[in-house]
Structure 1
Amino acid sequence: MKTKLLLIMIAVFAVLLTACGGGNSGSATADDVIKIVWYPNESGNDLKSSRDEIGRLISEATGKEVEHQLTTDYSIAIETLAGNNADLAFMGSQGYVEANNRNDAVQTLAVKSGESGILDDAKYYSWLAVNVDEQDKFKENGEFSLDTIADTRFSFVSNSSTSGFKVPSSTIIEHFSQQEAYADLTEEDLMGSGPLFSQVLFGNSHQGSAVNLLSGNADVAAFCDTCVEEYVELAEGEENTAGGVYRVKDNAAEPFNSVTGKEFTLMSSDPVLNEPFVVNMDVIGQADFDKIQELLTSDEVANNEKIFAPERIQNRALYSLKVIKKDCCQWKMNGMIQFAKFQSNFSKEK
């Protein structure tokens, strides 16, 4: 399961590439407020300092007031941006595709690079996890097997989450559709109990999905590494590798404060392309787009410890110590090369 970047990402980024030139910035009706809508994963109090710092810098760059809109549901954030009620959002590729499909003025702005400073290694990981004490139930001949997740209680993040639904559901469908009993399995089938799962939960955030597992409400859970990295620590094995064991820190903040000390292990870990910042060009306007893009790709932001926190800093930040880049790079997926440029002028250059 870790030998490829999943086929779903090819489809997602094929749509992304097609969409990148579709905005209508000429009809922008920019006002004096920059509204940023945040996914539930980034709406918690633990990221307030990062949100505030990003807002402060954007306010300085544009000369406008910044207003943060916090959400408890992915679909609310997507609809807020697509419905011309926000200028800017930070979302996964699936959320971007959904927003762009509703409104082609929704365009990409910048994306976090990998540790190399370019996009070749710009990725995070989609995990399938089980509780350590129950891991043997999910193994066959000593190895984790997807066959064992049938008839279990499963937790996803949101059906608009890339790493918390689209990637794991693609893996699950690809695996089970080879079996006659599940030959016609669809995404919709995975959203509720039967035919595969006995019960399906949605955590509404990656943190929420992880807590569903650790609290005993789910047997298997999908969530990503970056959204829980400040709450857990590697206890055994290798990071982002099947069999790796993670333990919730003793001082973990909400919602993990109720499951401190609990351990989970990874059934699988699949790489996912990093999330972009996206904008609604009909709301933000080209002038502010240019100013914010220049800001996000600047050394000022890359070196800001409230946004990119070094390991020595205990407070959580939006990113670990990496850089946001706007460069054009290549991703190799199943022997294919997909070109992606997270800028609205991609179609002029491809």
Structure 2
Amino acid sequence: MTLILVLVTAVFAGCSTPTAESNASVQEPDTITVAWLPNQAGDDFKDARAEIDKVIEKATGKKVEDKLTTDYAITIEALASGTAQIAWVGAQQYVEAHEKNSKVLPLVVNSGDSGALDDAKYYSRLVVKKGNEDQYKNGSEYAIDKIAGKKMSFVSNSSTSGYKVPAAAIVSYFSAQDPWKGLTAEDLLEGGSDKFFSQVLFGGSHQLSLVNVISDKADVAAVDDIDVVSYVDLTEGSDNTPGAVYTVKQDATDPFSKFPGAQYVVIKAMPVMNGPFMVNTEALSQETIDAVTQALTSDEVTNNPKIFLPEDAAYKGMFNQPQRFLTVEDAWYNPIREMK
């Protein structure tokens, strides 16, 4: 994945504002609806969502309202159908929305700490409850050999880092081995005595997928770093590396309020390209799209501490300094399309 990110960034670093044929004739709504995945739909992120909404309102002169979803599929369908016009999603959700409606295009993506696309990535991890980690070692090194037959928690089958990327890694590792030759990602969606996993759970969000493993409902969970970072502290090892130990904060809010001090361990970490704010170009005029793009990529937004949080921020958000928003093309997400 790291090599893919480097190669794709080099090829597609030149980006442009999304356009659509006959866009000038779009009859856009008076109110722009922004859809949010379950990971960002909670009260913890209310202020962060509102700050993004304010930027869009100021840029367009239109009222903005949020559509808070409880399922990844709802967000995808909302953008594809045009009932919502903008959404912040993962790479896989963008790819699925674009497949449903080719007029859904990426608007902007948050950069890496360099301010460029080269390191515009986060991490998908396979994690286990602290105390169980030794069974996932080959000698002194962590490995995924022993996850076969375990209870597995994914986020959603439409989640990039909560299913698509870890599933691809699992299939790549096991499919050449007996008795798992011919293993596919679809084989990982259902558990059973004759399946790869004994049981498969779907948390619906990264937070709830993590709860599944620390509450012993699952043995292994697919969890990204960005959606749970505000609830936990790194207490041992290096961030996003095998062996890293994270501890739930004593004052963590729901859904972790019942698990203060609970710990989990990373057994595998995989880089993932950042997901975009996507836009339905059939539902908004090019003038509106250009205005939103210009506003989001402006220095004013980059320097807004309520959008790009400083390191010592006491409140929750979705993006961190020194990142910024950059335009990006549809082709940047081809590596996600090509994952099997």
Alignment TM-score, normalising by the size of structure 2: 0.90
Matched residue, 1:89: 87
Aligned AA for 2:297?
Answer: T
| 1:9 to 1:122, Cα distance in 2 relative to 1, 3 A | closer
Q: 50-59 or 178-187, which moves further after superposition?
A: 178-187
Shift of 1:305: 1.6
**CA positional deviation for 1:304:** 1.3
Alignment-derived partner of residue 48 in structure 1? 46
Listed one character per residue, the Cα deviations across residues 311-339 of structure 1 (whole Å, up to 9, x for unaligned) are 2111101212233332569xxxxxxxx97
Instruction: Give 1:7 deviation, angstroms.
Output: 6.9
> Which residue type is aligned with residue 55 of structure 1?
D
TM-score by length of 1: 0.87
Asked if the contact 1:88–1:277 (Cα under 8 Å) also holds between the matched residues in 2, the reply is: yes
**Letter of the aligned partner of 1:291 in structure 2?**
A
RMSD: 2.4
Equivalent position of 2:265 in the other structure: 265
1:250 corresponding residue in structure 2: 250
Q: For residue 340 of structure 1, report the CA deviation from its aligned partner.
A: 3.3
| 8 Å contact kept, 1:107–1:279 | yes
1:71 aligns with one of 69, 93, 111? 69
> Does structure 1 conserve the Cα–Cα contact (< 8 Å) formed by 2:107 and 2:328?
no
Change in 2 beyond 3 A, CA 1:73/1:183:
same
SS at match of 2:250: coil
CA distance in 1, matches of 2:95, 2:138: 37
CA drift at 1:142: 2.4
Go from structure 1 to structure 2 and tell me whether the alpha carbon gap of 1:198 and 1:39 turns closer, same or farther (over 3 Å shift). same
On the 8 A contact 2:176/2:182 being kept in 1, the answer is no
Q: Which piece of structure 1 moves more, 84-93 or 186-195?
A: 186-195
Structure 2, unmatched stretches of 5+, are 335-340
State how 1:256-335 maps to structure 2 within 5 Å.
Answer: 256-326=256-326
Aligned partners of 1:117 and 1:341: how far apart in 2? 19
Shift of 1:22: 8.0
1:144-223 alignment, distance < 5 Å: 144-194=142-192, 195-223=195-223
User: Is contact 2:108–2:328 with CA below 8 Å preserved after alignment?
Assistant: no
Q: Is the 8 A contact 1:22 1:104 kept in 2?
A: no
Q: Which residue of 2 aligns with 1:122?
A: 120
Is the CA contact (8 Å cut-off) linking 2:71 and 2:204 kept in structure 1?
yes
What letter matches 1:65 in structure 2? K
Q: Secondary structure at the match of 2:230?
A: coil
When residues 313 and 38 of structure 1 are mapped into structure 2, their CA distance, relative to the original with a 3 A threshold, is: same
Question: Structure 1 residues 321, 219: closer, same or farther in 2, change over 3 A?
Answer: same
Superposition deviation, residue 196 in structure 1? 0.5
Whether the aligned pair in 1 keeps the contact of 2:143 and 2:268 (CA below 8 Å) is: no
Mapped contact 1:9–1:272 kept (Cα < 8 A): no
Alpha-carbon distance between aligned partners in 1 of 2:159 and 2:115, rounded to the nearest angstrom: 25
Q: Secondary structure at the match of 1:282?
A: coil
**Alpha-carbon deviations, 1:24-71, whole Å to 9, x = none?**
434522121110000001101000001111111211110001010001
Q: Measure, in 2, the Cα distance between the counterparts of 1:112 and 1:33.
A: 25
Instruction: For 1:53, give the aligned amino acid.
Output: E
Q: Indicate the residue corresponding to 2:338 in structure 1.
A: none
Q: Which residue among 329, 332, 335 is the counterpart of 1:340? A: 332
CA distance in 2, matches of 1:341, 1:53: 27
Pair 10,79 (structure 1): closer, same or farther in 2 beyond 3 Å: farther
Per the alignment, in what secondary structure is the counterpart of residue 132 of structure 2?
helix
Question: Which residue of structure 2 aligns with residue 60 of structure 1?
Answer: 58
* Residue equivalent to 1:34: 32
User: Partner of 1:335 in structure 2?
Assistant: none
Take 1:327 and 1:282, find their aligned partners in 2: how far apart are those partners? 19
Alpha carbons of structure 1 residues 78 and 327: separation in structure 2 relative to 1, 3 Å: closer
Q: Which moved more, 1:134-143 or 1:101-110?
A: 134-143
Aligned match of 2:106: 108
Aligned partner of 1:168: which letter?
P
Q: Which runs of 5+ in 1 are unaligned?
A: 330-337, 343-350
- Residues 1:246 and 1:6: Cα distance change in structure 2 (over 3 Å): farther
